[in-house]
Chain A
């Protein structure tokens, strides 16, 4: 049995760099976080203060829509003026409007898909284990260093994308 701190310590480079999960797409970021990932509304509102969708800072997680193959980066509150500017819906968010997420007019279909998740800072210890228990998919190149070590028994070649591994720790 490996303790959870150790798992996070081993996986934090991958959790920052990004991993893929299966999810329903065509729904809002909030729906993804709360309905699909089963996070509480309080957790989403209080702990996930900075959200990027495809590299653009999101202000409204109720209207921003995740699409198949999109990238979602999640972060706790960030320091400094720029950190404050990056927060969703924050007072200074207009200062980074050049990199703010703008919603598409056409709504994508609701369908099964995959989403790339990146976890930053305080959310690595808070959410990392949850995702790993559900199973994460990572490019083989990113996970090569894990083979032959403690997590080896939990790593399998991905049946859908053979150049990736699935890591699942129950």
Chain B
């Protein structure tokens, strides 16, 4: 993983590739690398769909090794949705394959001079770029089926659906999973639109004949990985709860807390929550011969995902995650798992972010385009996106655009990106992260590695609002660091509670690269990632005024607990004081 592959899609005479060593980016991986390249090489004021933007695809530092859960992929660019820097994270097999092929990053640059559609094939011997207009307009599922006929099912695919080709701001990039299905998406921020603007429909990664990456110190690495796996397996969340019920296990708990955003963030509880909970979903999957315990890539020991069958026992989609079930479920008033699973399938097929689409549909429902709870209307909306009708293009541009077009004030976005599944009035600390993350509203931006363990903060006054700010800051730093390792953020549960498991992670990085990093170095990496990202956004025109939640969160009390967001603007402005 010592080289960067650059593909200039706008070169004279057709796309040209070049290979260069990592150079000034040495030592970086995942989000650290995507954000460093975007911050250094993309003009912050450029149009996100223009030739100056770059799409950077980078595996994490430990991807391609035997380290458990190390196969997450970072995709970076200037976001067409937020107008700021973007790192969107995906599971699936692409990260492992790309790392094994030896690439620290692929960078797509320029835009083609024609409307042709391209595929990029990479194996150990060559990089081949072809025009293939026969795949134009295909949904991700049909596309992968077609490509499989040519390249087989032992390779990894990254692709865009029609939404990406139409350059819609909610468009995602699909990565195939262990079954070679296009179910894992770099969803947030419109990365699929940027890939579409480059004319690239699919990237095929073939690691045939390549072994796993070798650590510098195999004995130490093996020992650290064993401790790592033991730590993940023994923890009650990563070892049991997640595997049994998936992330959707949060539905009941958030609902109980009154922090489950319902009917476009008007209420904190959803009447039909038990019908769509993780517990119900897992039971249904078992009953239909699906599988509630499944990894999104090889090497995951936590396996929070699953397989969802329709009522006839046929594969429909992967197990929809908590955010998806919420976005299309309670947020739209829909309490039917089959409808939600169908929406997930359509989102994956057309290539759109499930969170953005769910939030957008709820805004459309608030505008009166359909009634809350109308599952058929929701399916119709997503189909319109896939078809590219006028309404579909509006919806596919996200919640902010949809709110503007239809005159809705309650639009739950920060920096134009839709809020995920936790009402910030109930969990104020996450509201701080939503407001201030350089990514726009993003729950994973401050997801959770024990900031106390990493030594980036220390204990804070539990009851003062400053505590919320400090915790959010520390979490954002820690998360930026984890995103750079290629580790799935769900490792955080084990790392949060078990210092020896966090140490095992650092030991793995050290053994792999022959380094002597400490927890402080990891924190410093996280800080530098955030600084790069903040700096880019500042140059792109962002000010502290963009680090705010929409007014209704501070004005309208959320039932049933009737609470408002209380962290002040002055406090929000302290988050990046480091």
Contact = CB atoms under 8 A, between A and B. Distances in A.
B493 A79 contact: yes
Contacts of A121: 241, 244-245, 249, 252, 278-279
Interface string B297-326: 000000010000000000000000010000
A interface, by DSSP: helix, strand, loop or mixed?
Answer: helix
Contacts of B446: 81
B463 to A, nearest CB: 6
A83 B462 CA distance: 17
B471 A96 contact: no
B427 A96 contact: yes
Nearest to A75: B253
Contact of B250 (A47, A79, A92, A95): A79
B572 interface: no
Interface in B207-237: 235-237
Interface stretch (A49-57, A106-114, A151-159): A49-57
B471 A95 contact: yes
Interface string A62-98: 0000000000010111111111111000011111111
Contacts of A52: 253, 256-257
Contact of A77 (B237, B447, B448): B237
B283 interface: yes
A80 B493 contact: yes
Nearest to B273: A16
Nearest to A95: B429
A140 interface: no
A66 B496 CA distance: 31
A40 B279 CA distance: 25
A95 B241 contact: no
A30 interface: no
Contact of B428 (A75, A83, A96, A120): A96
Interface residues of B, number: 58
Contact of A98 (B283, B428, B462): B428
Interface string B457-484: 0001111000110011001000000000
Interface stretch (B105-113, B405-413, B560-568): B560-568
Most chain B CB within a 10 A radius of its CB, from A47, A56, A120: A120
A93 B257 contact: no
B252 A76 contact: no
Contact of A12 (B247, B283, B461, B496): B283
B286 to A, nearest CB: 9
Given A98-B425, A99-B258, A121-B244, A81 B253 contact: no
Nearest to B475: A81
B426 interface: yes
B443 interface: yes
A9 interface: yes
A98 B241 contact: no
A17 interface: yes
Given A92-B429, A120-B252, A121-B279, A78 B257 contact: no
Contacts of A96: 257, 259, 426-429
B277 interface: yes
A130 to B, nearest CB: 17
Contacts of B493: 77, 79-80, 83-84
B561 A76 contact: no
Contacts of B554: none
Nearest to A14: B274
Contacts of A17: 274
Interface in B130-150: none
A162 interface: no
Interface residues of A, number: 40
A78 B279 contact: no
B330 interface: no
Given A94-B462, A96-B257, A82 B427 contact: yes
Interface string B473-514: 001000000000000001011001000000000000000000
B430 interface: yes
A56 to B, nearest CB: 8
A78 B259 contact: no
A148 B426 CA distance: 42
A46 B241 CA distance: 13
B561 A81 contact: no
A129 interface: no
A162 to B, nearest CB: 24
A85 B432 CA distance: 14
A124 interface: yes
B429 A85 contact: yes
Nearest to B240: A122
A81 B563 contact: no
B340 interface: no
A80 B447 contact: yes
Contacts of B247: 79-80
Interface in A9-29: 9, 12-13, 16-17
Nearest to B496: A84
A85 B240 CA distance: 19
A55 B241 contact: no
Contact of A78 (B249, B283, B430, B468): B249
B383 to A, nearest CB: 31
Given A77-B236, A78-B237, A95-B429, A86 B274 contact: no
Contacts of B249: 78-79, 120-121
A115 to B, nearest CB: 15
Contacts of A83: 237, 250, 253, 493
Contact of B468 (A16, A55, A75, A94): A94
A120 B236 contact: no
B422 interface: yes
A78 B236 CA distance: 9
Most chain A CB within a 10 A radius of its CB, from B235, B277, B443: B277
B450 interface: yes
Contact of A97 (B242, B258, B428): B428
A50 B252 CA distance: 12
Contacts of A98: 425-428, 561, 563, 566
23 contacts: A13-B274, A16-B277, A16-B279, A55-B258, A57-B257, A77-B241, A78-B249, A80-B322, A80-B447, A81-B430, A81-B446, A81-B475, A81-B492, A84-B448, A84-B492, A94-B463, A94-B467, A96-B257, A96-B259, A96-B426, A98-B563, A120-B249, A122-B236
9 closest A-B pairs by beta carbon, nearest first, are A95-B429, A81-B448, A94-B462, A77-B236, A16-B274, A98-B563, A77-B237, A120-B252, A52-B256
Given A73-B253, A95-B428, 12 more contacts: A12-B280, A56-B561, A75-B252, A81-B447, A83-B253, A84-B493, A85-B430, A91-B450, A95-B429, A98-B426, A99-B563, A121-B241
